[in-house]
């Protein structure tokens, strides 16, 4: 049986692999979990012994198929719990992450199934993160950080990183959430991202722009992904 900490490591590695090509350097894992490098090394040895990660000397780690399945199961728990807390218990989207972090390790598969049924099997959580289905198939992430967008591009907000309540509260106050369309007008020399939301101009620091993941809109007002699906 895996400990809560082991499951947290697997979940973090999976999320890093969503945006970065593996192997994942131990330093990135340490930064995400706020632990020391020796702690990461020790944990990677334990996870490798269990067949959950593969280590590449001097490079980093990658989840094995078994490790990916465990990570997806925990992510399914986490994101379903976030959705339930927001939809049924009136939690703000800035509050649900910490609660789900605790509960995700301790719910049964029956409880998970009932939560999914109560929510009518949602595709995403309140932050726009895809909820793995019952078969635990990974979902391709075709989004990019707002900080990677070229000035003048129209984009659709798809996902927002869920681990900083202050960022989430700020975005909610200025009307930026999954489903919001905006235009990146300018990036100032000081790294401030000026965007328009409807007729309103908003200013975001680079750290917030990094946390907001978007898809480009084409000239007809649909996202590139929608266009590909229709084709």
Among the candidates 16, 47, 63, a domain finishes at 63
Number of structural domains in the chain: 2
Is there a domain that residue 20 lies in?
yes
C-alpha 223/C-alpha 61 separation (Å) is 34
- CATH number of the domain at 10, please: 1.10.10.10
Q: What is the pLDDT of residue 220?
A: 42
pLDDT at 223 over 70: no
Q: What is the pLDDT of residue 161?
A: 93
Structural domain containing residue 12: 4-63
- Among 99, 108, 104, CA closest to 76: 104
C-alpha 179/C-alpha 6 separation (Å) is 34
Q: What is the pLDDT of residue 228?
A: 43
**Predicted structure pTM score:** 0.89
- CATH number of the domain at 200, please: 2.30.30.90
């Amino acid at each position: 049986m895996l400990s809560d900490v082991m499951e947290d490591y697997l979940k973090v590695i999976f999320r890093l692999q969503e945006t970065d090509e593996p192997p994942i350097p131990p330093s990135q894992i340490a930064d995400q979990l706020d632990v020391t490098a020796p702690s990461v090394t020790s944990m990677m040895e334990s996870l490798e012994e269990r067949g959950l990660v593969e280590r590449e000397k001097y490079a980093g780690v990658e989840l094995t198929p078994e490790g990916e399945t465990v990570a997806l199961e925990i992510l399914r728990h986490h994101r379903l719990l976030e959705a339930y807390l927001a939809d049924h218990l009136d939690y703000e989207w800035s509050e649900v992450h910490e609660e789900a972090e605790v509960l995700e390790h301790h719910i049964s598969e029956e409880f998970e199934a009932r939560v999914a049924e109560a929510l009518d099997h949602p595709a995403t959580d309140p932050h726009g993160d895809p909820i793995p289905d019952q078969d635990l198939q990974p979902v391709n992430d075709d989004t990019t950080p707002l900080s990677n967008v070229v000035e003048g591009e129209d984009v659709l907000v798809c996902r927002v990183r869920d681990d900083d309540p202050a960022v989430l509260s700020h975005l909610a106050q200025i009307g930026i959430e999954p489903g919001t369309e905006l235009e990146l007008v300018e990036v100032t020399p000081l790294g401030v991202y000026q965007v328009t939301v409807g007729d309103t101009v908003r200013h975001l620091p680079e750290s917030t722009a990094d946390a907001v993941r978007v898809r480009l809109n084409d000239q007809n007002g649909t996202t590139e992904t929608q266009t590909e699906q229709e084709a």
